[in-house]
Structure 1
């Protein structure tokens, strides 16, 4: 006869409580299911209880006013950055919009340039306002405007700023939470260049490439120059460091009368022009067009997304929750939640900028995507 059978009832519960207390006191956790109550269901308890939730941050109502207030109080003398980082309530206090992606809005005053730095996370910047946003990356000076996407890949020296006479706001997305989880995070700020055999600190990178280099070399899809090196930075990301909005917008417009995908509408991915793969190993980016009145069918994937509307208005239903959106908002769509999008205009398209950790899941053979048919049947899409 087992000890559990001998004890029975309240005596058994008291013995179990003491066992669990003793296990916890030695910095361990039990993994056995005594019953299916929340307290004792260890299949649930081994999972992280902090989960990103469907959520939205509004640009006009909250983000923009706070950015301009910060501009009055935070100068480049007191800080190299003036950014608002989005914190998902389900993950707080961790600085993450969804479990693997960090999103921030940055405002630069007119004619201010910050010194170079580099870090292990990959990053992009999407221009929102201002025509003279600036990023210098690995010797290529990039001036960009609304809708332009600029890369600062892992371990590349880069600096940011604004060369214009008006304020400039851009959106940043990094894989920082993922890199931090993998214990691979670092930042460096001691930028130097060699001059006459000596290392000299610089507050600006010396330009090593002509203006508009990325566009000149890689701006003709399907044509790959053989007379230049495509190994830039660490060689682990797209060598094309800026993707211009006018080219993306034209591509979406050309496809406007296509049937599109019932779950994703018209979606175009930013890719490495030398491989056709995602621009980073860890995350990928899309522009997604919903034609007037278009509604996507419900889809669930284990990739986590952030969705930042760029044009138009509408709403999404994520995990059963309706979230209305307007230009420059950001919406968190955590992996594992059913998601659908609706363009509420019957005249104008809605265009969404989407970031996803899909490449990471695919690299680990973990990626899955499911959809619901019109009859409610669940089908596997990937």
Structure 2
């Protein structure tokens, strides 16, 4: 590509080259050779950085939002967890969004739908519910709840205390593709058309309706994965030998297809026995981790973090991660792995 260019870096040659760049810039062109290294790097160089949010430190700020703005006024009262290196982009990584949502007693977060897929991980408080396409589910700590793309959903709090959960969405992916649509419901909340637990019974008990067939890319009909089932499964698996890189780590699936519950985001639960230390591991899917039980020391590319219950840690793409449990610990995590795997891009490296 450089054969026709002067083989010298004299001031005159450099000035001529710059003048050329300026001329082609007027026609909305730029030389590839000046940016090739950044466009096609030898390995991922994420602009995101690892970062830790201590729930004990930020909880008071979440609660303050409840005094300053109502759920109806905000539509969704959420404090976005912005990656420090991506401020202003509403992203915890380049492809994922995260936020802490608060709903106060007696409030309703009104019904709407959008093309962005969302997950909820309940962290704090009792008495709230999420409704998805006419079915409510009571939100309990540790529950993993999904609102698939373009499904009507609303939240309410019938209890006596504030409820906080982590929102995870594929907003940056949808924004990158310019494929975002949203619509508000005429009613503040949905009418109940199915009893609570209906979807879990129909699609989450190793059975599906006799005439139900689902395309591989479609989201799961099971929109709630209860914590009690998750922890029971992890405890049972933990009777075996832990994997040196993960401890005991399971991925959530759509029971009807065996694929990720969401086409754009994967979700995982991980149990680390007391005192267990993982070997270093890295992968191309930037991942958001939440400590649900116990405490964990995390080592990410030379930086150390201590995670307590409800703390959030983001590990960007191709950053080495090593975990060490204090007491027995359980982590939830989510990432953009399904997108990368569908495109043949996903890679991992085990030390």
- TM-score of the pair, normalised by structure 2: 0.92
**Is residue 289 of structure 2 the alignment partner of residue 307 of structure 1?**
yes
- The structural deviation recorded for 1:78 is 2.6
SS in 1 for 2:74: coil
Task: Single out whichever of 100-109 and 203-212 deviates more from structure 2.
Answer: 203-212
Q: 1:228 to 1:160 in 2, by over 3 A?
A: farther
Listed as ranges, the gaps of 5+ residues in structure 1 are: 33-39, 192-200, 373-382
CA distance in 2, matches of 1:172, 1:319: 26
- The structural deviation recorded for 1:115 is 2.0
**Is residue 239 of structure 2 the alignment partner of residue 244 of structure 1?**
no
Match of 2:145 among 145, 150, 156: 150
CA distance in 2, matches of 1:50, 1:301: 12
- The structural deviation recorded for 1:258 is 1.4
CA distance in 1, matches of 2:222, 2:5: 68
SS in 2 for 1:17: helix
CA distance in 2, matches of 1:304, 1:50: 9
1:67-216 to 2 correspondences below 5 Å: 67-189=62-184, 191=185, 201-216=186-201
**Is residue 47 of structure 2 the alignment partner of residue 43 of structure 1?**
no
Name the structure 2 match of 1:196. Answer: none
Conserved? CA contact 2:284–2:318, under 8 Å: yes
* CA deviation map 1:7-54 (0-9, x unaligned): 76221122122223333344322122xxxxxxx564126779971111
Listed as ranges, the gaps of 5+ residues in structure 2 are: none
- The structural deviation recorded for 1:4 is 2.0
- The structural deviation recorded for 1:3 is 7.0
SS in 2 for 1:94: coil
CA distance in 1, matches of 2:177, 2:35: 28
CA distance in 2, matches of 1:184, 1:206: 28
Conserved? CA contact 2:217–2:263, under 8 Å: no
Q: 1:21 to 1:147 in 2, by over 3 A?
A: same
SS in 2 for 1:100: coil
Name the structure 1 match of 2:260. Answer: 278
SS in 2 for 1:248: helix
Name the structure 2 match of 1:224. Answer: 207
SS in 2 for 1:90: helix
CA distance in 2, matches of 1:53, 1:349: 27
* CA deviation map 1:140-188 (0-9, x unaligned): 1111210111110000011112121111111110111111111111211
Name the structure 1 match of 2:18. Answer: 17
Conserved? CA contact 2:280–2:320, under 8 Å: yes
Name the structure 2 match of 1:56. Answer: 52
- TM-score of the pair, normalised by structure 1: 0.85
CA distance in 2, matches of 1:144, 1:370: 36
- The structural deviation recorded for 1:219 is 4.2
CA distance in 1, matches of 2:23, 2:45: 22
Higher radius of gyration, 1 or 2: 1
Q: CA RMSD for the aligned pairs?
A: 2.4
**Is residue 318 of structure 2 the alignment partner of residue 336 of structure 1?**
yes
CA distance in 1, matches of 2:212, 2:296: 44
Conserved? CA contact 1:50–1:90, under 8 Å: no
CA distance in 1, matches of 2:315, 2:45: 18
SS in 1 for 2:258: coil
- The structural deviation recorded for 1:330 is 1.1
Q: 1:336 to 1:235 in 2, by over 3 A?
A: closer
CA distance in 2, matches of 1:323, 1:148: 25
**Is residue 228 of structure 2 the alignment partner of residue 256 of structure 1?**
no
- Aligned residue pair count: 347
